[in-house]
Amino acid sequence: MLHVGVVGDYDPGNETHRATDAALVHAAGALGTAAIGEWVATEKVGSGGARVLEGFDCLLIAPASPYRSTQGALEAIRHARTSDVPLLGTCGGFQHIVLEFARNVLGYDDAGHAELDPDASRLFITPLSCSLVGQTMPVHLEPGSLAATAYGRTEVLERYYCNFGLNPDYLGELVAEGLEVTATGPEGEPRVIELPGLRFFMGTLFVPQASSTASSPHPLIVALLEAAQKG
């Protein structure tokens, strides 16, 4: 039995949240085990810190931001990064992985997100040139990456729900400190980021759980649970 902490502000009316619950069941079934996904509100992490995340085998930073507590989302990501807890962040999770890395690794305390503070002095997350909400688009995966290994191929189609992405002005600094872009969109835009050296640490701008089914569990969700299963 795997215990998965889903950090986000659950909304039963949000299709990506319902899909997240289902995708965990699909992936666990593919591995011949069971998984319990427990939603942990960002405000709870923000007030309680990493101690409220103890006992989870892995973490999933849910889509649908802005979160009620930005600090809670960032604390969950920091905990996974520094404690080597397998983590997958999708959509808003991808964006907050970038933000956490910018603040706590690059040292930019003022690293900001345009959705939360469009006038921030140093915006690492900015509006996309075109909204991706509701679009299914091709993604190119870097051979040998964690993502490509999970899919077993280098070209896939994925569904998006976002309007914000990584500001390319800061890409070089992030990469120089170890964050890798392992998948790109049609124009070379970052779509998957990974932090090598950890069991599983990945952010996807798309929402993989949205295309998971019982007969075809999403490979990235399976890979997350597999990393947790290996302990």
pLDDT tens digits, one per residue of 118-167: 999 999 999 998 888 989 999 999 999 999 999 999 999 999 999 999 99
Cα–Cα distance measured from residue 207 to residue 19, given in angstroms and rounded to the nearest whole number: 9
The pLDDT value recorded for residue 231 is 73
Cα–Cα distance measured from residue 68 to residue 86, given in angstroms and rounded to the nearest whole number: 23
The pLDDT value recorded for residue 131 is 87
The pLDDT value recorded for residue 188 is 95
Q: Calculate the alpha carbon distances from 77 to 46, 53, 180, 211 in Å.
A: 12, 11, 16, 24
The pLDDT value recorded for residue 130 is 82
Low-confidence ranges of the chain (pLDDT < 50): none
Tell me which of 3.40.309.10, 3.10.20.600, 3.40.50.880, 3.40.190.10 is the CATH number of domain 2-230.
3.40.50.880
Q: Are 16 and 63 in contact (CB under 8 A)?
A: yes
What is the pTM (predicted TM-score) of this model? 0.97
The pLDDT value recorded for residue 110 is 95
Which residue in 67, 65, 41, 68 sits closest to 53, CA to CA? 41
Q: Where are the domains of the chain?
A: 2-230
CA neighbours closer than 13 Å in the CB half-sphere of residue 10: 15
Which residue in 23, 14, 73 sits closest to 49, CA to CA? 73
CA neighbours closer than 13 Å in the CB half-sphere of residue 19: 19
Cα–Cα distance measured from residue 58 to residue 226, given in angstroms and rounded to the nearest whole number: 10
